[in-house]
Amino acid sequence: MNSEPVHSLSWTGADDPSFDSVKTFRCGNVELGVFGGSTKAGAVHNEDGALVLASPGSGCSFAAVLDGHAGTDSTEAVIRLLDSERETVAELLELPVRDAFKRVQAHLITKLTADKFVRACQQMTGETAVLFCAQKGDFLWWMSIRDNLLYVLHPEFARLGQYAINSRQFFQWVGRANSLVLDAPALTSGALELRGGLNRILLVMDGLLEFDDRDLESGANMMNAVEASVRDTGGVRQLLERVKSADGVDSATAIYWEADIQRTPLYPSG
């Protein structure tokens, strides 16, 4: 990625809560959208956070979304940590894909479980869910701690009923309560080959799933809503406007980008 410009963006709801309004930010080929919740419905804090690294020319993107609980301390601490590791993550993504993802995952876990960081977490109020995702060329990697969701929206996946590629887990966090320092660290991770043609990649948290009648908990409904939002606004703004129109009280944050894959992916032999 050093041969291509690397764009970066970090944001926290503590600094920019975006109550009662939708905001979107561009970082290379990646869009970040935020809605801080409706104050008339009772929103009083935004504990979300996000970080993006993008190098469109080299086909690499890295993103993280964070959903804090019982305060903003943990979200802000993880964002500061990720900010300090941007160059290293970018360098690791330069490696061949066979090595890049496992090296990124190992590096992040090492930093999040370092004694100094863990001790600092013990002085915090609250904890945060974290979802990491990286794309390099035809492949996607993710690592999730708790219940944020990653969607890869593509017709071939949709025909088989696959929309989100991870499932929501509970009782996992980084912060004062820290599931990474258990005897068996609690997290989920994986990788997949993107399909030929346009893949829509979306990271969301529960504010986009649990508002109003919760119809976006359906993967098919989420895919339709994303396609409509991209068609009408070029990104996720309309998706977040739905939460605003329904007076969603919980903050909603989304990261979105597209990967147009030209190579024929793996298919079964028969």
Q: What is the band of 5 on the pLDDT scale with cuts at 50, 70, 90?
A: low
Q: How far apart are CA 133 and CA 195, in angstroms?
A: 17
CA distance 245 to 125: 32
pTM value is 0.96
Give the pLDDT confidence of 178-197 residue by residue, as tens digits. Answer: 999 999 999 999 999 999 99
For the chain, the average pLDDT equals: 95
Phi, psi of 156 (to 5 degrees): -70, -40
**What SS3 state is found at 90?**
helix
Within the chain, where are the H helices?
Answer: 73-84, 86-92, 97-112, 115-121, 155-159, 219-233, 237-245
pLDDT at 3: 46
Q: Please spell the DSSP secondary structure of 201-250, one letter per residue.
A: EEEE-GGGTSSTT-GGGSHHHHHHHHHHHHHHHSSSHHHHHHHHHTT--S
Determine whether 85 is exposed, middle or buried from the number of CB atoms within 10 Å of its CB (0-12, 13-18, 19+).
Answer: middle
What does the block give as tokens for 215? 């119809």
Per residue in 79-132, pLDDT (tens digit) is 999 999 999 999 999 999 999 999 999 999 999 999 999 999 999 989 999 999
User: Which pLDDT tens digit goes with each residue over 38-60?
Assistant: 999 999 999 999 999 998 777 89
Domains of the chain, each with CATH number or no CATH: 7-261 (3.60.40.10)
Question: Could you tell me the CA-to-CA distances from 112 to 27, 119, 168, 183 in Å, in that order?
Answer: 25, 11, 21, 15
Using the predicted structure, report yes or no on whether residue 213 has a pLDDT greater than 70. Answer: yes
Q: How many CA atoms lie within 13 A of 13 on its CB side?
A: 34
**What are residue 93's phi and psi, to 5 degrees?**
-70, -10
